Amino acid sequence: MSLQFRSLSSEDELHTAQVVADRSAGVHLDEGEFERCLAYGQPRRWMGAFDGDRMVGSTRNVPLRLTLPGGDRRDHLPELPAANAGWTGVLPSHRRRGILRAMQRWHVDDAREHGEFAFFGTPSQSSLYERFEHGPVVYAARVRIDTCRAAFRAASMPAATVECLERAEALDRLPPIFDRYRRTAPGEVTRSPAMWDMVFADDPGQRQGASGLFFAVCRGADSQGEGYVTYRLEHHPQLGRAANILQVKELIATTAESHAALWRFCLDMDLVAHVEAWTRVDDPLRWLLEDQRQVQTIAIVDRVWMRLLDPSRLLSSRGYLPGLRLSLRLVDRLIPDNSGSYLVDAESTPAIVTRGSRELCDIALTIGNLATLAMGAESASVLADAGRISEELPGGLARADAMFRSTPAPHCTTPI
């Protein structure tokens, strides 16, 4: 029987789609987690693949706003509406028959219909989506710090104070802090109430042997707080000395001062031998310490991949250092309308992007590589060294490096 694809609408179908996604991912979510994942999928932008009347694959788009690199700005960065493509799954009985390929076409059509410039998510395998011209746009670093040797430089010692919160207070006080932070963080996204339910979830099944969640907020001049940390403790009692591990879940800071104070709070915790966290790849932590080698990077992973749908919109919306211009030749095999030459003129703000038919451009690249470059996740020169970008005009790569650089590096703490 041939496969059928269609958007889903009824509550029953959405429920079945979540079950299909779970089974495809090889999990049986407990009831609480199942309901939270289902709720995050609202409003109803789901697609199902059917064999007869049986659903055998499902996926969905969730609308949110993505913060873009700001060029010379560090606050109130530009943002655009985009779709979070997630919980994509095909039952083991129906794999390698083109269902994912059909889902990708649906993601493109659905996101464009809703006025979104891109869709993105955290793929289970980095080899899966390049064929559909996605590019990695956020990397994350896993760090481990030995607290015994993690003294701060005297000049870096923060003055801000940190206050411990109980869960009920944290539910109120953390979301506004996050919302201020995400406007300073390229790669970060808005959080719906359903996403906050997932972030705050603390069922025993999610703790992986560690404690329940702890919460602390950094008080700044404003009474709402300038940052927060949420963490768990892994208890490892040893003879004579406790060797607990503090697992940071989120460390969110709206100022350099609160960033330092929250790290200090974690590293000073009694009975803790190591702190572990996912951080942005250019986190300044190592520069705060006397001995920067104590910040060990255990892994760097490609966390978020993006399928860019409207390159002009990204190029004209993100920020740049003033006075830069760049031409680029773009190839998009799946959406041929996007192919062609573009001139990005950032001499004024916002940048002006025009399409043309230049014979030679500064650089030539595919749309997946443009997503990586324009979100500031990697430099043009590094991508060129890997044969992913070519330079057509002398100095083109250096101009692209200067044009697309993002400080801070893109980062996403939200479990999209």
Rule CB under 6 A: choose which of 89, 187, 311, 319 binds ligand COA.
Answer: 89
- What distance in Å separates the CA atoms of residue 178 and residue 200, rounded to the nearest whole number? 13
Containing 230, the helix (H) or strand (E) segment is strand 227-234
Q: What angle do CA 83, 85, 88 make, to 5 degrees?
A: 165
Number of residues forming the site for ligand COA (CB under 6 A): 18
With contacts defined by CB under 6 A, name the span among 6-14, 93-101, 165-173, 350-358 that binds ligand COA: 93-101
- Using CB atoms within 10 A of its CB, is residue 1 exposed (0-12), middle (13-18) or buried (19+)? exposed
With contacts defined by CB under 6 A, name the span among 123-131, 256-264, 329-337, 369-377 that binds ligand COA: 123-131
Rule CB under 6 A: choose which of 73, 101, 235, 333 binds ligand COA.
Answer: 101
Please choose, from the candidates 56, 128, 55, 26, the residue with its C-alpha nearest in 3D space to the C-alpha of residue 85. Answer: 128
- CA 122, 123, 124, 125: dihedral to nearest 10 degrees? -130
With contacts defined by CB under 6 A, name the span among 122-130, 144-152, 272-280, 322-330 that binds ligand COA: 122-130
Cβ neighbors of 134 (< 8 A, separation 6 or more) are 120, 123, 305, 306, 307, 368, 371
Q: How far is the CB of 17 from ligand COA (least distance, A)?
A: 13
Structure tokens at 262: 């929250």
Rule CB under 6 A: choose which of 28, 96, 241, 293 binds ligand COA.
Answer: 96
Rule CB under 6 A: choose which of 38, 62, 66, 90 binds ligand COA.
Answer: 90
Q: Does 42 bind ligand COA (CB under 6 A)?
A: no
Cα separations in angstroms, 198 against 69, 206, 243, 349? 26, 11, 29, 37
- Check residue 152 and report its DSSP letter: B
Q: How far is the CB of 34 from ligand COA (least distance, A)?
A: 17
- Gyration radius of the chain over CA positions: 23
- What distance in Å separates the CA atoms of residue 409 and residue 416, rounded to the nearest whole number? 18
Q: Does 93 bind ligand COA (CB under 6 A)?
A: no
Rule CB under 6 A: choose which of 17, 82, 99, 384 binds ligand COA.
Answer: 99
DSSP-based three-state secondary structure for 17: helix
- What distance in Å separates the CA atoms of residue 309 and residue 106, rounded to the nearest whole number? 13
Rule CB under 6 A: choose which of 42, 124, 349, 354 binds ligand COA.
Answer: 124
Rule CB under 6 A: choose which of 23, 44, 95, 144 binds ligand COA.
Answer: 95
Q: How far is the CB of 23 from ligand COA (least distance, A)?
A: 9
With contacts defined by CB under 6 A, name the span among 12-20, 38-46, 87-95, 329-337 that binds ligand COA: 87-95
Residue list 21-40, contact with ligand COA (CB under 6 A): 24-25
Give whichever of 76 and 131 is closer to ligand COA, judged by the CB atom: 131
Q: How far is the CB of 93 from ligand COA (least distance, A)?
A: 11
- From residue 293 to residue 332, what is the string marking binding to ligand COA with x (rule CB under 6 A)? ----------------------------------------
Q: How far is the CB of 95 from ligand COA (least distance, A)?
A: 3
Containing 370, the helix (H) or strand (E) segment is helix 367-374
Please choose, from the candidates 304, 301, 280, the residue with its C-alpha nearest in 3D space to the C-alpha of residue 135. Answer: 304
Q: Does 279 bind ligand COA (CB under 6 A)?
A: no
User: Per residue, what are the HEC states of 158-220?
Assistant: CCCEEEEECHHHHHHHHHHHHHHHHCCCCCCECCCHHHHHHHHCCCHHHCCCCCCCEEEEEEC
Give whichever of 86 and 186 is closer to ligand COA, judged by the CB atom: 86
Binding residues for ligand COA (CB under 6 A): 24-25, 88-90, 95-101, 123-125, 127-128, 131
